[in-house]
Amino acid sequence: AAARKAEAEVAPSSGKPPVTKDSIINLDHGDPTMYEAFWRGGAGERATIVIPGWQTMSYFSDVGSLCWFLEPGFEREVRRLHRLVGNAVADGYHVLVGTGSTQLFQAALYALSPPGPSAPMSVVSPAPYYSSYPAVTDFLKSGLYRWAGDAKMFDGDTYVELVCSPSNPDGGIREAVLKSGDGVAVHDLAYYWPQYTPITSAAAHDIMLFTVSKCTGHAGTRLGWVHTNFVPNHLKFEQILAQCDWFFWHRWALVKDRAVAQKMSKFIELNTIGVSKDSQLRAAKILKAITDGYDRAPAAAVAGDDDDDSSSRLFHFARRKMVSRWAKLRAAVAASGIFTLPDELPGHCTFANETVSAYPPFAWLRCGKEGVDDLEGYLRERKIISRGGGKFGADGRVVRISMLDTDEAFAIFVDRLAAMN
Ligand code: PMP
């Protein structure tokens, strides 16, 4: 009977195995399991959806719209969340959905590559850069674009600069370092949420990538989104069009602001024929639960109040966690004496309406101990898996450590770190 019952139910996988005091602690990936405790509370019920067998069957979500596979409910909740947080201007931008922001990053490279035969476009980012940028750019050996390394060392004309702010791996606030006329910046704002950094203004860049993974912790839904209203240089024919009649100009203006959005949408059509509707509906419900939570208890009204009930307010829950984890990490680093961390960066957060420090999702941990030139290897011998500086265009005496794992794994990690000397 038990076997029949198990067969009748489709249970989700349990994810990562639990850790014990002697386990290998893997903090290589930024797997946001830290958020599970929040969603296990009342918020989890409010984010539940049921999809009957006859729903979400068609390929299409919104036939006739630029992003025909975008669920209108998901788009609505994305815009609503940005209005609540104030981290990005959403009005006037096209919203596209992707299978994680990883797919949208590739769609952006495809859309921004110059048309016609030419040398591959260079893709750069200032070191230390997110380790997936070179890997994802080059794994298919595309003729359209290729990884060209550290933006600060780049000397060329046609490029895409990836601007990750707050930065993965080091948490710094970044702006584009290249300014050439033919270059384009793609802003990866995966971590521009109030639990990680003060929200100082509503970002309004040409192409902005976001992901559910690091905002709500639902990396497994594989959903990202992009805001764009971008027109590449080769479409800027205003001077020519100024001589054309009004009607033609008007139509052109409508078409041209869709140029990059349309090409990104085409990439996703060719790559995966759209994006899972089931995931979009679930993500819409999750984002709705967050925004609704703040409708019930607005952010600024409780700023600084440590006794508030954060069970319905995700960013408050997550920020409190980050504050506590960073305090424990800094204490462990002080106890050990062989490590250093980047300084805390405070700023005024318009969302919380108070001055707060940044609490990056990764610790960029440096070791000053004599003879430790391969910090990743040094930590691995002590059963801690991290990602070495070399993968980010930095040196081997620094590693990236995820701050978003489970409480249990994090507690064992700081204990082990404190004892190293
Ligand atoms: N950008 C950055 C800076 C990231 O750190 C990550 C995830 N580690 C991603 C993008 C990819 O996120 P997604 O899960 O949406 O593909």
Phi, psi values for residue 176, rounded to 5°: -60, 135
Burial of residue 254 (CB within 10 Å: 0-12, 13-18, 19+) is exposed
Give me the CATH topology for the region 2-43+301-418: Aspartate Aminotransferase, domain 1 (3.90.1150)
Most confident of the ranges 74-88, 109-123, 238-252: 74-88
Which residues, in sequence order, are bridge partners of residue 160?
123, 184
Ligand 1 centre distance from Cα of residue 211 (Å): 7
**Tens digits of per-residue pLDDT, 83-92?**
999 999 988 8
Ligand 1 centre distance from Cα of residue 123 (Å): 17
As a CATH number, domain 72-289 is 3.40.640.10
Contact 35, 15 (CB under 8 A): no
Distance (Å) of CA 119 to CA 99, 152, 282, 346, 358: 28, 21, 42, 43, 40
Residue of the CA atom closest to atom 1 of ligand 1: 190
Contact 169, 364 (CB under 8 A): yes
Residue of the CA atom closest to atom 4 of ligand 1: 190
Question: Residue 288: what pLDDT?
Answer: 98
Q: Which tokens sit at 313? A: 């307010």
Residue of 211, 276, 404 to mutate, ligand 1, most atoms within 8 A of C-beta? 211
Residue of 31, 101, 173 to mutate, ligand 1, most atoms within 8 A of C-beta? 101
Ligand 1 centre distance from Cα of residue 216 (Å): 13
Q: Which atom of ligand 1 is nearest to the CA of 224?
A: 15
- Given a cut of 50, whether residue 414 has pLDDT beyond it is yes
Question: Residue 307: what pLDDT?
Answer: 41
Q: Where are the alpha helices (H) located in 223-302, listed in sequence order?
A: 238-241, 246-256, 259-272, 277-296
Q: Which of 50-59, 240-249, 281-290, 375-384 has the lowest mean pLDDT?
A: 240-249
Question: Residue 233: what pLDDT?
Answer: 72
Mean pLDDT on 65-69: 94
Helix H or strand E segment including 162: strand 159-164
Ligand 1 centre distance from Cα of residue 158 (Å): 25
Across the chain, mean pLDDT equals 91
- Given a cut of 50, whether residue 226 has pLDDT beyond it is yes
Ligand 1 centre distance from Cα of residue 91 (Å): 24
The residue with greater pLDDT, 145 or 6, is: 145
Question: Residue 9: what pLDDT?
Answer: 81
Closest CA to 357 of 366, 347, 370, 343: 347
Distance (Å) of CA 199 to CA 295, 301, 302, 311: 19, 16, 17, 22
Question: Residue 303: what pLDDT?
Answer: 47
- Given a cut of 60, whether residue 237 has pLDDT beyond it is no
Q: Which atom of ligand 1 is nearest to the CA of 98?
A: 15
**Tens digits of per-residue pLDDT, 124-170?**
999 999 999 999 999 999 999 999 999 999 998 889 999 999 999 99
At 6, is the pLDDT very low, low, confident or very high (cuts 50, 70, 90)?
low
> Taking the complete model, does pTM exceed 0.95, yes or no?
no
Question: Residue 306: what pLDDT?
Answer: 46
Ligand 1 centre distance from Cα of residue 246 (Å): 43
Q: Which atom of ligand 1 is nearest to the CA of 102?
A: 16
Q: Which of 31-45, 141-155, 308-322, 376-390 has the lowest mean pLDDT?
A: 308-322
The residues lining ligand 1, judged by C-beta closer than 6 Å to any ligand atom, are 30, 100-102, 130, 164, 168, 188, 190, 211, 213, 219, 224
* Integer-rounded Cα radius of gyration of the chain: 23
Residue of 168, 191, 280, 403 to mutate, ligand 1, most atoms within 8 A of C-beta? 168
Q: Which atom of ligand 1 is nearest to the CA of 168?
A: 3
- Given a cut of 90, whether residue 257 has pLDDT beyond it is no
At 182, is the pLDDT very low, low, confident or very high (cuts 50, 70, 90)?
confident
Distance (Å) of CA 133 to CA 116, 162, 194, 276: 24, 8, 24, 24
Question: Residue 151: what pLDDT?
Answer: 97
Residue of the CA atom closest to atom 5 of ligand 1: 168
Ligand 1 centre distance from Cα of residue 420 (Å): 31
Domain boundaries in the chain? 2-43+301-418, 72-289
Q: Which atom of ligand 1 is nearest to the CA of 30?
A: 8
- Given a cut of 70, whether residue 36 has pLDDT beyond it is yes
Question: Residue 114: what pLDDT?
Answer: 85
